Structure 1
Amino acid sequence: MQTLQPSIHLCDPTLKPCLDYMQDYASLPDFQYTEEFYDKAKMLWEDEGVQECYGRANEYQLIDSAEYFLDRIDEIREEDYVPSNQDILRSRKITTGVLQTSFEVNNVHFQMLDVGGQRDERKKWIQCFSDVTALIFVVACSSFDLVLREDQNKNRLQESLELYERLWKNRFLRSTSVILFLNKQDILAQKVSKGTSLLSHYYADYEHFEPPETIEPPEGWCCFSTKRKRAEQRRRESMFPALNISESKEFFKAKSFIKAKFQDLSVCDEKEHHFIKHCYSHFTIAVNSENISIVFDSCKDMIQRLHLTKAGIIR
């Protein structure tokens, strides 16, 4: 709190021992969550100074689910507490290394490789680029006002854009289509609604951006290797559900702007490529299990089609 500029102080100074306890003991790797911890955590969370600090969460590193769990301290502290599906979905663990998952859906075998997105993890990606049917790229759209954990001078959304461009142009992935998840739309909507963080503060071109009248069903942004008419070759995908969240005009503009940023990067040099490559985009809320379930079914069908296309079975 005091490291922020301008700094923030506890509204109730008698809670200073609670703050010291959290800083000195609760951060230890072998810390045990005692009743004392829950009591102090609840008192601190209810302090107006701490709430003000939370309101400026974009100025430091904090998981998105902090408010969700802190609002449920009384429930979590119970001895018979069992995490709900929503609790598990909102839990966060940094991915390190390469995690491989194999599963079958309707007698179709899938193999998924999950890789960490941190800079020091990216050197491990090259081993995953062989025989890839599709690349799933997940971007946190709400990160437009955040900086990287490993680089305090680098905007997270800008880092995602630059990383996406490098992957799109990577010679090992030149025939691999991308499924783009424009994720955390719920948090983006909250930030836009509060108005405390503005996209225009981070992207000068946002102010003059003109969003479409409506967002069409997720489409494949295609890059073609010949000069055939793109309008005749472009295939639109209509397999994703709409998001069930309140959509203001400003939020619609914000998510359209971010989508357009990635769309502008999803092009290829016709002289260097001899294939058709697509980027299939979708607005997602990963903690919405119903939404993601439908998205997964759609992606399953899409990946099967891409695999058959690569094999030359269909066109």
Structure 2
Amino acid sequence: SFLWDTNRFLSEDFMPTDKDILYTRCETVGVAQKEPERRGNKYRVTDVGGAQSQRKKWIYVFPGVSKLLYTVPLSCYNEISDRLNRDSTEALTLFDTLCVSQWFSTTKIALCFTKLDVFERKIQSGRYPIPDCIQNPRYDGAPDDVEAVKSFLTERFRDLCCKNHANPEIYYINALDTVQVRDM
């Protein structure tokens, strides 16, 4: 935990470890684009996470997109970032909008669920049961069964996607697992 390492962070010879770097977060503002190259292939990656309030503007940056990678932290199922919606409800609503959008009618869809470590801790703690945190939950499994809850949440997204896109690719990522991220 970062709090336990305060003295280390404040030392004059502090050098961040790989773990320190992985635990940092840099919030994007607006639309950010990068063009990485991997295994001889060029990609254009567009991050619109910091432009949520400007959806009508950023939707137009996607003509000709061959694959949409939609990332969702599984751990957000009980979090609220505004007074009206849980983050998971907002993520589902946006995903549904993208799946039916004319801009993505021929685009392959991939869902990437992140923050598995945080999600597992929340589910196993029993402090945030799914039925208490999700609108219209329809979940009848054990509240502390990580795999059952993960499958339930995945199906909620897959059901939206399958209206217009058959068989989306599904990934589960723990960004703190450097081997898993590298191999993706």
Aligned to 1:147, which of 80, 87, 97? 80
| Aligned 1:22-41 pairs, distance under 5 A | none
CA drift of 1:86 comes to: 1.9
- 2:100 is matched with 169
- SS state at 2:43 partner: strand
Percent identity between the aligned chains? 25
| Equivalent residue in structure 2 for 1:261, among 156, 160, 163 | 156
Which structure ranks higher in relative contact order (CA pairs < 8 Å, sequence separation ≥ 6)?
A: 2
Question: 2:175 — aligned with what?
Answer: 286
Q: What are the Cα deviations for residues 236-276 of structure 1, in whole angstroms up to 9, with x where unaligned? A: xxxxxxxxxxxx9611111111011111112236xxxxxx6
List structure 1 runs of 4+ shifted beyond 4 angstroms.
none
Q: Which amino acid aligns with 1:173?
A: F
Quote the Cα distance in structure 1 between the aligned partners of 2:7 and 2:172.
33
Q: Which of 131, 140, 152 is equivalent to 2:64? A: 131
Report deviation, 1:209. 4.9
Asked whether the equivalents of residues 98 and 115 of structure 1 are also in contact (C-alpha less than 8 Å), the reply is: yes
One-letter code aligned to 2:137: D
- Give the direction of change, closer, same or farther, for the CA distance of 1:122–1:86 in structure 2 (3 Å limit): farther
Closer/same/farther in 2, CA of residues 206 and 75 from structure 1, 3 Å limit: farther
Over residues 171-194 of structure 1, what are the superposed CA-to-partner deviations in whole Å (9 max), with x where a residue is unaligned? 111011111111111111101111
| Structure whose CA Rg is larger | 1
Contact 2:35 2:42 in 1 (8 A): yes
The alignment covers a number of residue pairs equal to: 183
Confirm or deny: 8 A CA contact 1:175 1:277 kept in the other structure. Answer: no
1:192-223 superposed Cα distances (whole Å, 9 cap, x missing partner): 1111111111235344259xxxxxxxxxxxxx
CA 1:69–1:161 in 2, change beyond 3 Å: closer, same or farther? same
Q: Distance in 2 between matches of 1:181 and 1:117?
A: 18
Partner amino acid, structure 2, of 1:115: V
Show the counterpart of 2:147. 252
Distance in 2 separating the partners of 1:123 and 1:95: 18
Summarize the Cα distance change of 1:255–1:80 in structure 2 as closer, same or farther, 3 Å threshold: same
Taking only aligned residues, the RMSD between alpha carbons, in angstroms, comes to 2.1
Whether the 8 Å CA contact 1:97–1:115 is kept in 2: the answer is yes
Structure-2 residue corresponding to 1:194: 125
- The structure with the largest strand share of the pair is 2
Which structure 2 residues correspond to residues 165-244 of structure 1 after superposition, within 5 A?
165-203=96-134, 204-209=136-141
CA contact (8 A) 1:177 1:278 kept: no
Q: Which consecutive unaligned segments of at least 5 residues does structure 1 have? A: 1-67, 211-247, 270-275, 296-315
TM-score by length of 1: 0.54
Does the 8 Å CA contact 2:69/2:111 hold for their aligned counterparts?
A: yes
How big is the shift at 1:287? 2.2
Matches within 5 A, 1:87-126: 87-117=20-50, 119-126=52-59
- Give how far 1:105 is off: 2.1
Alpha carbons 2:123, 2:145 under 8 Å: kept: yes
Preserved CA contact (<8 Å) 1:147 1:155: yes
Partners of 2:141 and 2:58 lie apart in 1 by: 35
TM-score between the two structures when normalised by the length of structure 2: 0.89
Deviation (angstroms), 1:101: 1.2
5+ unaligned residues in a row in structure 2: which ranges? none
CA distance in 2, matches of 1:191, 1:200: 14
Kept in 2: contact 1:96–1:121 (CA 8 A):
no
CA distance in 2, matches of 1:103, 1:147: 33
- Cα pair 1:184 1:284 within 8 Å, conserved: yes
Residue matched to 2:90: 159
